[in-house]
Amino acid sequence: MRAVVQRVKEASVHVNGVVIGAIQAGLLVLLGVDENDADPDVRYIADKVAEMRIFRDEDGKFNRSVEEAGGAVLVVSQFTLHGDCRRGRRPSFSRAARPEKAIPLYESVVSALRARGLTVATGEFGAMMDVHIINDGPVTLLLDSEKQF
């Protein structure tokens, strides 16, 4: 499972011009599910997102998690995170999980974050989405449950 995590001042997802998910300060998580992902990958990503200390404390240091900062999380599915661009000009998405596997795992990440008491908004799995963000910093981090980076 892969995630691009961005600290944001605000973020929203629009489908057909309608806002379907929005947050104020917190994290935007673009989430890609691999064909081999399972529950341990869900726990790894949810724990990392909730506990990463990337919000400033009173001294301006990165010492607060989104939980501690009182922020929200917007989770948006993005299968293209598993695009392999090593050969040719067209990415291969063969490692991206098919919807019947990806949707339950995506929803499990959302549920795990909510179970921690976080406010979580979502995009619409499989839809063409417009994602609007105002980066904070910018702070952008990459997560991979296989720890490839």
Task: Given the residues 80, 119, 122, 140, select the one marked as catalytic.
Answer: 80
Q: How far apart are CA 74 and CA 120, in angstroms?
A: 6
Look up 78 and say whether it is catalytic: yes
Look up 119 and say whether it is catalytic: no
97 contacts 142 by C-beta, under 8 angstroms: no
Task: Given the residues 6, 24, 55, 78, select the one marked as catalytic.
Answer: 78
Q: Is 95 exposed, middle or buried (0-12, 13-18, 19+ CB in 10 A)?
A: middle
Task: Given the residues 24, 55, 62, 79, select the one marked as catalytic.
Answer: 79
Helix axes 39-51, 99-115, angle to 10 degrees: 40
Look up 140 and say whether it is catalytic: no
| Residues identified as active-site | 78-80
